[in-house]
Structure 1
Amino acid sequence: MGQSASTAAIPSRDTHRSKSKSTAIISPMDAEGSESSGEITDGPPDYMRDLPDDCLACIFQSLSSGDRKRCSLVCRRWLRIEGQSRHRLSLNAQPDLLPMIPSLFSRFDAVTKLALKCDRRSVSIGDDALIIISLRCRNLTRLKLRACRELTDAGMAAFAKNCRGLKKLSCGSCAFGAKGMNAVLDNCSALEELSVKRLRGIADGAAAEPIGPGAAASSLKTICLKELYNGQCFGPLIIGAKNLRTLKLFRCSGDWDKLFQAVAERVTGMVEIHLERVPVSDFGLAAISNCLDLEILHLVKTLECTNAGLASVAERCKLLRKLHIDGWKTNRIGDEGLVAVAKHCPNLQELVLIGVNPTKSSLEMLASNCQNLERLALCGSDTVGDPEISCIAAKCIALKKLCIKNCPVSDHGMEALATGCPNLVKVKVKKCRGVTCEGAEWLRSSRVSLAVNLDTVEPEHQDASTSDGGVQENGIEFPPVPSQIAAPSIASSSSGRSASFKARLGLFSGRSLVACTLRRWSSGKSSSGSN
C-alpha cells in the first residue's frame, strides 16, 4: 500500500532562472525522507518530515475516518503512524473477516474500542474470529456486537478471559445466552456499562438461568436492557450492582414491581431511571422513591402508573431535575401528580409531558415553585390552550426553551410569549392549528432575539395520536423519549434543509407561507440563523 506509484508535482524554488514554474516528480516514499535515496529533490522544504510522530498522530485523531484512510496512503510513515494512533475500529463482522484479522490488528495494534457489526441477513463471524481478536487486543476496553448470531457462550467465555480490562459491553441481536453473559461478568471485574438488546440465547420462563451478579457487579454504573422477553433474569445483577447509577429498561416483560422492591433495599444510589413500556405500577414507583439521589426519571407508556405513584417519588426524591412523562392519553397522570412534583421538587429544570393533560392550576404551581425550570415541552395535551400558555409566560421566569405540539393554542398564546419569559431563547410550535404564520412572524418581530420555529400540517393529515411524536431539540436540551425516536422529529432551526424549513415555504402546509418567509429573509431576522 505504501509503495504505490502515485506522484506529486511540487513547484521549483529556483524562480530566478525562469519565470515559469518547473516541477519535480517525487514518490511518496521520497516525501518521507527516511525512505528516500538521499538525493535532494528540486522542491519546497518538506515540513511534515520534521514533524514529530506524536504531533502527526494528534492531527490524524482530529480527522474523520475517511480522511484518515486517505492520509494513510501518502507514505509508509503516515501508514504506520495512522495505524498506531487509531484507538477506535469498526469492522464488518462477516466470515471473510477471519483471515484478515492477524494483518489488521498488526497494523491497528493500539485499538481499545472495537465494533463488530453484521447485517441481519448475513452470516456473522464465529467464535474462532472473536477469540483471535481477543488475543490480539488484550487492552480492549469497549466492545460493541451487532447481529453476531454465530457467537456462542463458549466464544464469549474465551473472549472474557483474554480481555479482562473490558469496561463497556454493548450487544444487540446476538444468539449467545446466560452462560456467555455470566462469563463476562465473572472475568471482567472493571465493567462499568452494560447494554443488552434482544439477546436471543436467554430462555423464557422458569428455565431461564439467572444472570449475575459476578465480579463486575461492584463496578457497574450503567445497565440498559431492551426488548428482552425475560429481562428479569438480569435481576441478580441489578440487585447486586450496589454502585449502579443509571438503569434503563425498554420493552422488557416481567414482574418488575417485585424486582424494584428488592432493588430498593440494596441499590439506593441511582440518579437516573428510564422505564418504557415496562409492566411497573405504583408499587414499583414507591420502591423507586427509596432512591433519594434520583435526578432523572422517564416514565414512557407505563400504563399502571398513576398520580399516586408519581407523588410518592416526588415526595422523597427532592433532587429531581429532569422529568419525562408519556401518559399515552390514559389520563392516569395529571394535575394531582404534577402538583406533588411542584411542591417537593424545586430543582426541576426540564419537564416533558406527552399525552398528559395538565391544567392552569398545576402549571401555575410548577411555574411558581420550580424557579429553575428552563426547558418545557407540552405535546398532545388537550387542556393546554392560550390561558395555560399565558400562565407559563407570566410565571416561568427562568424558561429558556419551550416546545408546544398538537395543543389547542392560537396566536393569542404567541402574543403572551412576546412579553413573558424574559430568558426565553427558542420556541417550537408544531401541529397547533390555531397558530398561523402571521402570529409566529409577529412574535419574531416583537422579540428579535427569539428563535421561533413553526411547523404546520394540513388538517386532514393531522394524526390524532400525535402524542407519539416526541420532542427533539438537537438531542441536547430535549432528548427524545426513547419510544418516539422512529417518529417524525421536530426539525431543528439550525438545519437549513430541515422539514420545518420546507414547511415555512409552504411545501408541506395548507397555508401559503412564502410571503412571510420572504419578508423574514429580507429583514435579516431568519430564525434559522439565530440558533
Structure 2
Amino acid sequence: MGQGASSVSCASARDLDMEEKEEDAAFEEDMIQTQTQSPTHRHNKDEDFTAWLPDECLACVFQKMGTMDHNQCSLVCKRWYHVEAHCRQRLSLYARAEIISFLPSIFMRFDRITKLALRCDRKTTSMDDKALFLVGRHCSTLRKLKIKGCRQLTDEGIELFARVASSTLCKLSCGACSFGARGINAVVNYCTLLEDLTVKRLKGLEEGPPEFIGPGCGTIRRLCLKELYNAQLFGPLMAGSKNLHTIIIYRSSGNWDSLLTIVSEQISNLVELHMEMLHLSDRGLQAVSRWTKLEVLYVVKTTECSDFGLSAIAEGCRRLKKLHINGLKSNRIGDDGITALASKCRDLQEVILIGVNATAASLGLMASNCSGLERLALCNSATVGDTELSCITSKCNSLKRLCLKGCSISDEGMRGLATGCPRLIKVKIKKCKGVTWESVYWLQVHRPGLVVSLDCEAPNTRLLEGITEVSPVLVPPSPRSRSPLAKVKFALVASGSFVACSLLRWPLMKGKR
C-alpha cells in the first residue's frame, strides 16, 4: 500500500509540473503574440479612444478649433454634441428677421455664450427689437456683443436690451445701424459693467435734433469712434469717464482742438490715444500733452500738425513707448519735432514715421537716447538715405525689426547691417530702388541668422558673381494677419504641452477602471 500510494503521488506531482510548464509556455506565447500585433489587432476597431479623455480636456481641444471644425465635431456623437455646446463661448449669427423663432432653442443649447456677433447685409431684412430683447433675456452670460448692419433695430429695442443685460454686458460694438444717441445713452446708463464701447457709422446720429451722450455710470475705459458725422456728441462721455484708458477716433468730422482741450482738463489717466484723419492742429496736440501718463500715440494724416505740436507732446508725454506719425508729406513735421521727441521721450520702444523728412541728426539722437528702441519703420521719406541707415545701424543696439519703404538707400548702406544692430531679427525693404538682391545675398553670407524681406523679383541665377555659396534665408513680405487655419495651428502648438499631459493620462485611467 505504501509503495502504491507513493507512486500515485509521484505521478500526480509530475502531472502538475507538466501542467504548470504548459501554462507558462502558453502564457509566454500569448505575450509574444500580443507584443507583435499592431494596435488595430489588439483593440476593437470600433473602440472610442476619446472615451478615456475627461470632458474638461475634450472641451479644451474644442476651444482651440475654428468655427467649421467646431460645428463638425458636434455631429460626431451625443457626448461630443453636449460637450461642444457647453464649452462654446463664442457664437456668430446671421441676424435676419427669421431668426427670432430659433433664438430660444439656440440659447438653450449654447447656455454659456459670453461673446456674440449679430451680422446682417444690406439686401436682407435684419432682426428687430423683439429679437434683440430675446437675446438679452435668454443669453444670461453675455459679456461682449457686436451688432453690424441690423437696420431694423431702434432706440426702444436697444433700451429694452440694455435693461435685461445690464448686469453682464462689458463690451458693445455697433456699426451701420439705425438707432441713435438715445440707444447709446440707455446702454451707458443701465449697463454698470460696460468698459468698452465701439461706434461706427451709426446712421441714427445724423437724424433728428442732436442729443449729447452722457457718461452714464462712468465705467468706460476704451472708446472707439469711427466714421461718424456727429462724433462731437460723445464729448460729455469722454469728459465724464474718469477711468478712460484708450481713445480711438478715426475719420470723424468736427473741430477736435476745442473738444480735446475740454476733455484733457477733466480726465488725467489716459494711456493710449489714436487720432487719424481728423481736423486737428497744434492746439489739439498741446491739449494732448496734458496727459502725462500717455504711452501710445497715433497722429495719422492730420495735415495741420507741425513740429511745434510735437515739441509740446515731448514736454508733457515723457512716458511714450509707442509713437506712430503719418505726415502725408506735408513738410510740417521734420527734424525739429523728431529731435524734441528723441531728447525727452527716452522710453520709446516702437517708432513708425511715414512721410516725415527726418535726417541723421534727429535719427542719431533717437538711436542714442532711446536705448530700448526695438522696432523702427521709416516710410516715404526723401531724406532717409545711406547716411541715416548707417547712423541707425551703429547706434541702435536693441533694435529687433527694421522696415524701410520708399527711401533713398542703396546696397552700400545695406551692408552696414552685417555688423550693426546685434539683436536685429528681421529687415523689410519695400520700394527702395537702390537696393538689389546682391546686397541681400551678401548679408546672408555675412549674417546668416538675419531674415531679409525684399519686394523686388529675385534673379534667375542661384548665386551672384563673387559671393560665397550659401543657402540664403529669404522670405517674401509677410501678410498683416494670420489666416483662420494658421491661428488654429498656432493655438494647438502653443497649448501642446497641456494636451500631451492629458493624453498621457489615458493608460493610467484605463488601468484604474
Tell me the amino acid that sits aligned with residue 181 of structure 2.
A
Q: How does 1:160-239 map to 2 (within 5 A)?
A: 160-164=162-166, 165-203=168-206, 207-215=209-217, 217=218, 219-239=219-239
Q: Distance in 2 between matches of 1:22 and 1:69?
A: 29
Distance 1:426 1:312, change over 3 A: same
Shift of the alpha carbon at 1:416?
A: 1.6
Tell me the amino acid that sits aligned with residue 69 of structure 1.
N
Runs of 4+ in structure 1 off by over 6 angstroms are 19-23, 519-522
| 2:470 paired residue number | 523
Q: Which has the higher contact order (CA 8 A, sep 6+)?
A: 2
| 2:485 paired residue number | none
| 1:509 paired residue number | none
Shift of the alpha carbon at 1:63?
A: 2.2
Q: How does 1:257-296 map to 2 (within 5 A)?
A: 257-296=257-296
Size of the alignment, in residue pairs? 442
What secondary structure is seen at the aligned counterpart in 2 of 1:143?
Answer: strand
Tell me the amino acid that sits aligned with residue 171 of structure 1.
C
Q: Distance in 2 between matches of 1:438 and 1:529?
A: 16
Tell me the amino acid that sits aligned with residue 48 of structure 1.
T
Q: Deviations over 1:404-461 (max 9, x none)?
A: 00111110110122221122111111110000111111112111111111113xxxxx
Shift of the alpha carbon at 1:46?
A: 3.8
Tell me the amino acid that sits aligned with residue 474 of structure 2.
S
What secondary structure is seen at the aligned counterpart in 2 of 1:229?
Answer: coil
Shift of the alpha carbon at 1:152?
A: 0.6
| Contact 1:449 1:530 (8 Å CA) reproduced | no
Q: Distance in 1 between matches of 2:60 and 2:375?
A: 38
Give the aligned CA root-mean-square deviation in angstroms.
Answer: 2.6
TM-score normalised by L of structure 1: 0.79
Distance 1:248 1:513, change over 3 A: farther
Shift of the alpha carbon at 1:394?
A: 1.2
Tell me the amino acid that sits aligned with residue 472 of structure 2.
K
Q: How does 1:81-480 map to 2 (within 5 A)?
A: 81-164=83-166, 165-203=168-206, 207-215=209-217, 217=218, 219-456=219-456
Q: Distance in 1 between matches of 2:463 and 2:191?
A: 60
Greater shift, 121-130 or 260-269, is seen at 121-130
Tell me the amino acid that sits aligned with residue 523 of structure 1.
V
Distance 1:515 1:524, change over 3 A: closer
Tell me the amino acid that sits aligned with residue 317 of structure 1.
C
> Gaps (5+ residues) in structure 1?
1-14, 24-40, 457-502, 505-511
Q: Deviations over 1:331-381 (max 9, x none)?
A: 111100001001101101111010110011111111111111111101000
| Contact 1:160 1:184 (8 Å CA) reproduced | yes
Shift of the alpha carbon at 1:98?
A: 1.6
Shift of the alpha carbon at 1:399?
A: 1.1
TM-score normalised by L of structure 2: 0.82
What secondary structure is seen at the aligned counterpart in 2 of 1:429?
Answer: strand
Distance 1:113 1:522, change over 3 A: farther
Q: Distance in 2 between matches of 1:250 and 1:49?
A: 52
Q: Distance in 1 between matches of 2:50 and 2:400?
A: 48
Q: Distance in 1 between matches of 2:327 and 2:477?
A: 33
Distance 1:358 1:76, change over 3 A: same
| Contact 1:113 1:143 (8 Å CA) reproduced | yes
Q: Distance in 1 between matches of 2:436 and 2:52?
A: 63
| Contact 2:153 2:178 (8 Å CA) reproduced | yes
| Contact 2:454 2:476 (8 Å CA) reproduced | no
Tell me the amino acid that sits aligned with residue 154 of structure 1.
E
Identity of aligned residues (%): 49
Q: Distance in 1 between matches of 2:252 and 2:440?
A: 42
| Contact 1:146 1:173 (8 Å CA) reproduced | yes
Tell me the amino acid that sits aligned with residue 382 of structure 2.
D
Shift of the alpha carbon at 1:523?
A: 3.3
Q: Distance in 1 between matches of 2:47 and 2:82?
A: 22
Q: Distance in 1 between matches of 2:373 and 2:200?
A: 34
Q: Distance in 2 between matches of 1:281 and 1:204?
A: 29
Tell me the amino acid that sits aligned with residue 122 of structure 1.
T
Shift of the alpha carbon at 1:225?
A: 0.3
| Contact 1:255 1:279 (8 Å CA) reproduced | yes
What secondary structure is seen at the aligned counterpart in 2 of 1:202?
Answer: helix
Distance 1:159 1:436, change over 3 A: same
Tell me the amino acid that sits aligned with residue 209 of structure 1.
E
Greater shift, 437-446 or 349-358, is seen at 437-446
Distance 1:131 1:353, change over 3 A: same
Shift of the alpha carbon at 1:52?
A: 3.3
What secondary structure is seen at the aligned counterpart in 2 of 1:54?
Answer: helix
What secondary structure is seen at the aligned counterpart in 2 of 1:180?
Answer: helix
Higher helix share: 2
| Contact 1:204 1:229 (8 Å CA) reproduced | no
Say whether 1:49 aligns with 2:51: yes
Q: Distance in 2 between matches of 1:340 and 1:121?
A: 53
Distance 1:525 1:74, change over 3 A: same
Shift of the alpha carbon at 1:54?
A: 2.6
Q: Distance in 1 between matches of 2:441 and 2:115?
A: 48
